[in-house]
Structure 1
Amino acid sequence: MQVVLWIVGILAILFLSYGIFPTVLLRMLSIGMVKKGEINKTLALTFDDGPNPVYTPQVLDLLKKYDVKATFFVVAEKALDHPDLIKRMKQEGHTIGVHHYRHTNSWFLTPWSTKREISRSAEIIENLTGVKPVYYRPPYGRFNLFTNIFARGYIIVLWSAIFQDWRKGPDSSGLQQRLIAQISEGQIYLLHDDGEDAGADSDAPAHMIEALKRFLPHVRRRGFRCVSLEEHLGKKSTEEQKWSV
């Protein structure tokens, strides 16, 4: 029994050292990543976990209606299933970033799997769009000891405002109010255009879209613009690129 406890203890320490501690440290100190923008009166909408054949077109329609540019951190496996949506994102001026081949938690990836998730995703995005992706966001915002090594050459982007919109909640009006409450310069919003991953509600994006319909006109009335990460990060984007190459 004592041997089992020792083994469990050692495995727990290894797990903490490999995934949890690096995530906490990197996110607390913002080492090698960006969380906020630089340009006055702008905020960035970012969408994770898609593309989704039902909800992503609705998001794109809404962004087009209000002349808004956004950033999509796509799951490459889903991108292969829906290449038309990736091409539409590109054609309509949106930015496409890496979010792993599958929606995999970096805590449970080996170093080699980490490298493969990033590089394979980037290759698929480039093949579909003709443009090499610049931005990377690990699923759940979680890192392991090797994430930053294999993400060199990318700008790691997290967020400054998160809304748990992967759960549908009571209604969309509450989410709308939370979106409005977070309007301020430099914000990077984290939203989701797919609800099929573990822990999410499959119809949650429908509530997010309803909230977004009322949020975007409000942003305009407040004198803010929703822009791509390229514009939003401004000079910080260039500096981070130099750091990571």
Structure 2
Amino acid sequence: MARDIRLEQRGKTGVRNMGKLLAGVLIFFIMLYAVVPEIATRIIGVGALRKGRLRKEIALTFDDGPDPYYTPRLLDLLKKHNIKATFFIVGAKAEKHPDIIKRIQREGHLIGIHNYVHRANWFMNPWRLWQQIHYSADVIEQITGQRPVHYRPPWGLFTIFDFILGQKFSFVLWSVMVGDWRSRIGRDALRKKILTQLHDGCVIVLHDSGETFGADRDAPMHMLEALEDVLQAISKQPYKFVLIDEIMKHA
């Protein structure tokens, strides 16, 4: 009987040890898959552009579009102030609104990709991730005749496979984010946040669609109102708006 008890205890110990081993393997995989790329890109600044180096240069970037209501109004505003921007496009939306994509290109803006659907890369396997990146690029190329080379993942969340599967793309993050996807912030607060965070070589991310998870549908309207104020204020300062590819030349 004592022998049976010892065997049972050894069995339980073996199960616990196996559980610890599996937990360790899982933690290691999570660290390698998501945490290490996050530290590398956001903290160390390796692998993805966050800001430029030249004085008095600003890159305006917009995520989550195109939106049939807000994006044309944004383009009108940029045209009014003679400013070029970079748009990180959701592929599925581009398929629905090719005319907006053509207008973005025609008016001299730069187009990058933001996945085919707005889904975090952390929750996709490598094959699905490859599809998201390359199919989005295919969609943009079919519409514009030019294949995009700049990529920003939804929520800026990279995985180790982004760097393996997206080697033909340059990765872009931001140095100024003001929470414009929430309508409660409002025009005045957005304007103040943007103006107080301006710095040499800054990459500003704003959103021209409110349809993504966690966003408010009418939030882009407040963004447009605040952006109008910001552009008027900046016009009195020696800042120059540039595209992401210009920022990257000196990054």
- Fold conserved (TM > 0.5)? yes
Q: Aligned residue for 1:223?
A: 238
Contact 1:39 1:233 in 2 (8 A): no
TM superposition shift of 1:160: 0.7
Q: What is the distance in 2 between the residues matched to 1:41 and 1:107?
A: 35
Q: What is the distance in 2 between the residues matched to 1:105 and 1:73?
A: 15
Q: Which whole-Å deviations, capped at 9, do the CAs of 1:128-159 have from their partners, x for residues lacking one?
A: 11111121111111111211111112111110
Question: Could you say which structure has the larger radius of gyration?
Answer: 2
Most deviating of 27-36 and 71-80: 27-36
Aligned residues: 236
Q: Aligned residue for 2:100?
A: 85
Residue 199 in structure 1 maps to residue 247 in structure 2: no
Percent identical pairs in the alignment equals 42
Q: What is the distance in 2 between the residues matched to 1:184 and 1:15?
A: 34
Contact 2:109 2:243 in 1 (8 A): yes
Q: Aligned residue for 1:235?
A: 250
Q: Aligned residue for 1:118?
A: 133
Q: C-alpha root-mean-square deviation of aligned residues, in Å?
A: 2.0
Q: Aligned residue for 1:169?
A: 184
The one of 188, 200, 204 aligned to 1:185: 200
Q: Aligned residue for 1:131?
A: 146
Q: Aligned residue for 1:27?
A: 42
TM superposition shift of 1:16: 4.2
Which consecutive unaligned segments of at least 5 residues does structure 1 have?
237-245
Most deviating of 201-210 and 161-170: 161-170
Contact 1:38 1:235 in 2 (8 A): yes
2:138 partner letter: E
TM superposition shift of 1:33: 1.5
TM superposition shift of 1:124: 0.8
Q: What is the distance in 2 between the residues matched to 1:160 and 1:145?
A: 22
Q: Aligned residue for 1:140?
A: 155
Q: Which whole-Å deviations, capped at 9, do the CAs of 1:40-68 have from their partners, x for residues lacking one?
A: 32100000000001110111000000000
Helix, strand or coil: the match of 2:183? coil
1:201 partner letter: D
TM superposition shift of 1:232: 2.9
1:187 partner letter: C
Which consecutive unaligned segments of at least 5 residues does structure 2 have?
1-14
Q: What is the distance in 2 between the residues matched to 1:224 and 1:50?
A: 26
Q: Aligned residue for 1:59?
A: 74
Q: What is the distance in 1 between the residues matched to 2:185 and 2:169?
A: 37
Contact 2:174 2:205 in 1 (8 A): yes
Residue 159 in structure 1 maps to residue 167 in structure 2: no
Helix, strand or coil: the match of 2:206? strand
1:30 partner letter: G
TM superposition shift of 1:95: 0.2
Contact 1:45 1:70 in 2 (8 A): yes
Most deviating of 6-15 and 202-211: 6-15
